[in-house]
Amino acid sequence: MSYSKRLSLLVGLDSLIVLFSIYIGYFILDPYISFYSLKMMIISSITLVVSHHMFAFIYRLYNKSWQYASVGELLAILKAITLSIAVAAVVQYILNGDIYMRVLFITWLLHMCLIGGSRFSWRMVRDRYIKSQVERKNALIVGAGSAGTMLVRQLLKNNDSELHPVAFVDDDLAKQKLQIYGVTVLGKTEKIPEIVESENIDHIIIAIPSLSKTEIQKIYQECSKTKAKTKIMPMIEDIITGKVSVNQFRDVQVEDLLGRDPVELDIQSISNKLTDKTILVTGAGGSIGSEICRQVSRFNPKKLMLLGHGENSIYTIDMELRNRYQNHFEIIPIIADVQDRHRIFDVVEAHKPDVIYHAAAHKHVPLMEYNPREAVKNNVLGTKNVAEAADTFGVKTFVLVSTDKAVNPTNVMGSTKRIAEMVIQELNKNSQTNFVAVRFGNVLGSRGSVIPLFKKQIQAGGPVTVTHPDMTRYFMTIPEASRLVMQAGALAQGGEIFVLDMGEPVKIVDLAKNLIKLSGYTEEEIGIKFAGIRPGEKMFEELLSENEVHSEAVFPKIFIGKTVAFDYSLVANLINNYDTYDIEYIRKYVLGLANKQEDLVKL
């Protein structure tokens, strides 16, 4: 309905109510209205109609959305009616020298009942009748604080929402059994399975945006015991700034279930290293490399070079950064292979970066078992080429992206990454460049991680394949991995190996079960199949070997490993002769070199 039609309807309705009310008021007190009373009634009616509409416009009664009427709208009606009655009383006193108090009081009561009723009736119809025609699903709200209260109010108002809040759970003892907008707090979070069953809950909404990852994990463990779908309310800051609405829920992500809060940054120290500096990122098109580029861009470098072998991936990150930062700093995409020594030296000599983040590597464990020569060429020689270019042209800091698989490695990939660490540690002994390495756990969502594979298997109807029921891994998010790289560069003194405190290792099978649940299925529907350990895999990973452990954290959640002695001549022998060795010999050599080097004597 247009505003003009709506205005005409409300003005006409109010006029009829005013005239009816004052007539009833006079009729109740004087059924046989005298001429004088009739004259005063007409004058009072005209005065009331005019004054009512005047105050209705002042208090914007004709501009309010009455389907959402509440206490504020009721007060506006009260003010408009009371003041219009007061004007009628003044007119009566001026013309008659007396005020018909009982008549005006009855008129005031009828005004309030009829005008208020006409407005609030639409809300009642909307809340009760219209909503009853929509099939809605029962929702349990976790958290009866400000966010949960806001959410319930919005769900009750929103006629288009498919969710109907039927209960709260909250661990605050003072809130137990309280009702908020008619919704009762039925218990603590530990009672979630019981409440879901008794109240026929279809959806569980976690409405405590400030929860830590540990707390989310605990709540989700209770939610996972039910068949209800679990979602999380967005951050209050995002709601206030208009990024999302209150009822724009997101699914619980696997990242929420790591059981720890993400690592934070020392902004000042990183800013000193990156702001107005020239930065080179190798492997810039990969999942880790591209996120490093995004994080670096926040610090407004002078120049950011995106180096990678695949033109499509480099094009993608180049366009993304140009759309956001083109006018802030220079962005240079470079197509190059780290195995091409001359090309790498030319790039570093031409641009003379202040910091190099070396993320280019082959990282797929089973693939490298079948292709050990390629692992050596890319992970060892490629690192050597970039590191020696950094040393030659005076780069201040070089950060190698390594892996926890470099600790006591049982596979080619981990062994070549450990040898790459040896390469930069050897260079660091006589270089002005600070060479450091950063060891990652498994990065959730990165290319080759288990999450994309599990998701594809779930979408295909299952089963999800897990290698072994007892296999565990450390996990971190892509942003965490990138932050650790930058923080390591800021902390670098030369020769260190930095690791992140990633909490307790997670069972792969538990990760699979959670992902199945998060995807809206049960374990029975999808199924889990144990495929056996693949070539080169370990049952568990380590972050530092016994000889490398250094107990003190150099930054919250960041530890540093001690430098372990090794014979670099054995590394040099591999680099100089790998192309003459057969595949099996290379595999044995890199494993021996990365572990107990005395074993190489037997080869």
Residue 142 and residue 65 share a domain? no
Residue 282 and residue 243 share a domain? no
Residue 399 and residue 537 share a domain? yes
Residue 375 and residue 459 share a domain? yes
pTM of the model: 0.61
Residue 17 and residue 155 share a domain? no
- 461 domain-assigned: yes
Query: How many structural domains does the chain have?
Result: 3
495: DSSP letter = S
The tens digit of pLDDT for each residue in 374-422 reads: 999 999 999 999 999 999 999 999 999 988 788 888 899 999 999 999 9
Residue numbers of the chain with a pLDDT score lower than 70: 1-4, 6-7, 25-38, 61-73, 117-135, 158-160, 213, 234-265, 441-449, 451, 474, 501-504, 518-520, 534-538, 540-557, 561-564, 596-603
Minimal CA–CA distance to 441: which of 486, 500, 482? Answer: 500
Residue 53 and residue 191 share a domain? no
* Residues noted as catalytic: 405
**DSSP H helices in 137-255:** 146-157, 192-198, 213-223, 236-240
- 262 domain-assigned: no
Domain C-terminal end among 252, 287, 322: 252
d(C-alpha 32, C-alpha 161), whole Å: 55
- 40 domain-assigned: yes
User: The tokens 């990973």 sit on which residue?
Assistant: 541
Minimal CA–CA distance to 563: which of 493, 505, 500, 484? Answer: 493
111 burial via Cβ count (<10 Å: 0-12, 13-18, 19+) = buried
252 burial via Cβ count (<10 Å: 0-12, 13-18, 19+) = buried
Q: Are 293 and 304 in contact (CB under 8 A)?
A: yes
SS3 307: strand
Question: CB neighbours (10 Å) of residue 70?
Answer: 11
Residue 174 and residue 99 share a domain? no
Percent of the chain residues topping a pLDDT of 70:
76
d(C-alpha 442, C-alpha 255), whole Å: 12
Q: Are 202 and 137 in contact (CB under 8 A)?
A: yes
Domain C-terminal end among 190, 217, 252: 252
The tens digit of pLDDT for each residue in 437-484 reads: 988 766 665 555 676 777 778 877 778 888 788 787 767 777 777 877
Q: What are phi and psi of 52, to 5 degrees?
A: -60, -45
- 257 domain-assigned: no
What is the span of the domain harbouring residue 39? Answer: 3-131
Q: Are 270 and 491 in contact (CB under 8 A)?
A: no
Q: Are 438 and 400 in contact (CB under 8 A)?
A: yes
- 261 domain-assigned: no
Residue 418 and residue 334 share a domain? yes
Residue 126 and residue 240 share a domain? no
- 404 domain-assigned: yes
CATH of the domain at 361: 3.40.50.720
- 260 domain-assigned: no
pLDDT on residue 366: 86
Residue 147 and residue 109 share a domain? no
Residue 143 region by backbone torsions, left for phi larger than 0, else alpha for psi between -120 and 50, else beta: left
Question: CB neighbours (10 Å) of residue 151?
Answer: 22
Residue 119 and residue 151 share a domain? no
- 259 domain-assigned: no
Q: Which two three-digit tokens encode residue 267?
A: 């902004």
SS3 139: strand
Domain C-terminal end among 131, 150, 182: 131
CA distances 201 to 137, 168, 273, 399, Å, are 8, 11, 52, 50
pLDDT on residue 24: 73
User: What b-and-e string marks burial along 489-511, b requiring 16 or more CB atoms within 10 Å of the CB?
Assistant: bbbbebbbbbbbebbebbbbbeb
Residue 327 and residue 224 share a domain? no
pLDDT on residue 239: 43
DSSP 8-38: HHHHHHHHHHHHHHHHHHHHHH-SS--HHHH
> β-pairing, 558-561 with 553-555?
antiparallel
